[in-house]
A and B are shown apart, each in its own frame.
Chain A
Amino acid sequence: MAKIHVTTTINGAPTEFLCDANQTLLDVLRDTLGLTGSKEGCGSGDCGACSVTVNGRLVCSCLVLAPETEGAKVETIEGMADGERLHPLQKKFVEMAALQCGICTPGFLVASKALLDRNPNPSETEVRFWLAGNLCRCTGYDKIVSAVMEVAAEMRETVR
C-alpha cells in the first residue's frame, strides 16, 4: 500500500512520517511516533482525551487525518513541560489532585492551556464551558476547574 509522506512540526521539532490516507493524527502520534500522552477514549470526538492543537487550534486528534497535518504545527501534551520543569497547569493539577486515574488528564491539560493562552482571566462558567468537551469519570470536575482558575490567577500575578 502506497504510504503518504508527511512533513510537519510536532512540539517545535520538524517531524516526518509515513501514513495511510485514512489514518488519524492520533494513531500516528501514538503508534508511529510513540507519543502516547494523547489517549484514545471514544475515537469519535466526544471525550477530548486525544486533545491537541493544530496551528494553535484545539482539536480532537482522533478526528484529524494524519495527512492533513502536512506543513502544520502540532502541539501535544509531550510539549507542555519544559524539560523537567512542569507547566504551571501540570504542577497545579498534581498539587490540587485534579486527577485520579489520569486517562483524561493530558486532554484536560492541553485544552486548559489553549483556554489560558486565549483568555488569561476566564470566569468559572467560561472554564466549565471551555472544558465541556473533555470528559472525566473520576473527579467530578470541581478540582479540575479550581486548578485552572488558580493557575490563571497565579499567571496573572506573575505577568503583573
Chain B
Amino acid sequence: MTEIQYKVAKNIKDACILMAAADGKGRILAGGTDLLVQMKAGTQAPGTIIDVKKIPEMVTIAKTKGGFRIGAATPAAVIGEHEELRKTWPGVVEAINLIGSKQIQGRASPGGNLCNASPAADSVPALVAAGATVNIQGPGGKRQVPVEQFCTGPGRTSLQKGEIVVSLSLPARPKGSSDAYLRLIPRTEMDIAVVGCGVSLTMKGDTVVAARVGLGAVAPTVLLVEDAAKALVGSQLEDEALEAAAKACSAACRPIDDKRGTIRYRTKIAGVLLKRAAAIARDRANGISHTAH
C-alpha cells in the first residue's frame, strides 16, 4: 500500500502537475468540509491530497471587466465579507453563506460546493441564475464551462483527468439588476435543501428585461429553467407571469422521493420558491434590501 501524501501546490500549473502525477487518485483540498468527511466515511481514499489554498488566485475575489472572479477555494466567510460582491450579487452571496455553520463557513468554498456535485448544493442554483462561468485548467490547457453544464449527475462532474476548477466568473451587471436565493428546509438553518431556487433579474422600470432561474434538489443536477425565465421576461411580475414561471419550474422538476420531501411536495415548492425569490430579486433591483436573518 502506498501511503497517502499531502502536497501544497505553489501555483495552478503546479497543482495540475500534481493532479496528473497522482494518476486519478489526486483530490483537491480547498476547505475540506466535504473531502475530510468523505475520507473518514471511507467513500474517498485519495492517494495525494493537493492543498490549493496557498495559490492567491484560488482564494481571492478579483474585479474583472465589470464582473467578478471568485477563486474556487475562497472561504464562504471571506465571500460574505466582500461588500461590493454582496451589493452586486446578494443572491449568490446569500446562497454561499447558507452552507453550514460559522465554523463551516470559515472553510467551505464555492469551488468545493460545485465539485462535490450534490444536486442540493446551495450555491449552485444561485450561480446558475447568475450566469456564472467555471474556469478550468488541466493538462490540455484552460477552458470555460457554463456552471449549469459542469455537473453531470450526483457526485459527478465534467472535469477530465488532471483538470481542476480554478475560479468562477460572474458577468458584468447591467443597471437595475439583482438576484435572490431561497431554499426550503424544515429547520431554521444548517440543513440540506429540499428545494433551492435562484433568480436573477434585470429590470427596466417595472418591467423585467432579462431573467435567469436556477433550481436545485429537484433533479440529478441543478437545472437552468429557461421556460421560467421566458415567462418572466417582458412581464411586470404580475400574478399571471409569476404563475406561468412557477408552472415552468414545476414542469422542469424530476425529483426523487426521500426523507426530506416527496416528489409531489418538491414539485409544488419549486414554483412557490420561484415566486418568492423573484419578488425579492425585484425589490433588491429597486434598492429595497432583504436579509436572510
Contact = CB atoms under 8 A, between A and B. Distances in A.
Interface string B12-46: 00000000000000000101110011011000000
B100 A133 contact: yes
A60 B53 contact: no
A28 to B, nearest CB: 13
Interface residues of A, number: 33
Interface of B: 3-6, 8, 29, 31-33, 36-37, 39-40, 49, 51, 53, 75, 77, 100-104, 106-107, 188-190, 293
Contacts of B77: 57
A63 B32 contact: yes
Given A63-B33, A64-B107, A133-B190, A21 B6 contact: yes
B118 to A, nearest CB: 15
Counting chain B CB atoms within 10 Å of each CB, the highest count among A44, A114, A125 belongs to: A44
Contact of B75 (A57, A68, A130): A57
Contacts of A43: 40
B79 to A, nearest CB: 13
B293 A111 contact: no
Contacts of A62: 36
Contacts of B104: 45, 60, 63, 133
Nearest to A110: B103
Interface pairs A-B: 8 shortest CB-CB: A133-B101, A21-B6, A57-B106, A59-B106, A60-B103, A133-B103, A21-B4, A67-B6
Contact of A22 (B39, B51, B189, B190): B39
Contact of A65 (B3, B49, B100, B189): B49
Contacts of B4: 20-22
Given A21-B3, A133-B104, 20 more contacts: A1-B3, A21-B5, A22-B6, A45-B100, A48-B103, A54-B106, A57-B75, A57-B107, A58-B106, A60-B104, A62-B36, A63-B31, A65-B6, A65-B32, A65-B36, A68-B51, A68-B53, A125-B293, A132-B102, A132-B188
A44 to B, nearest CB: 5
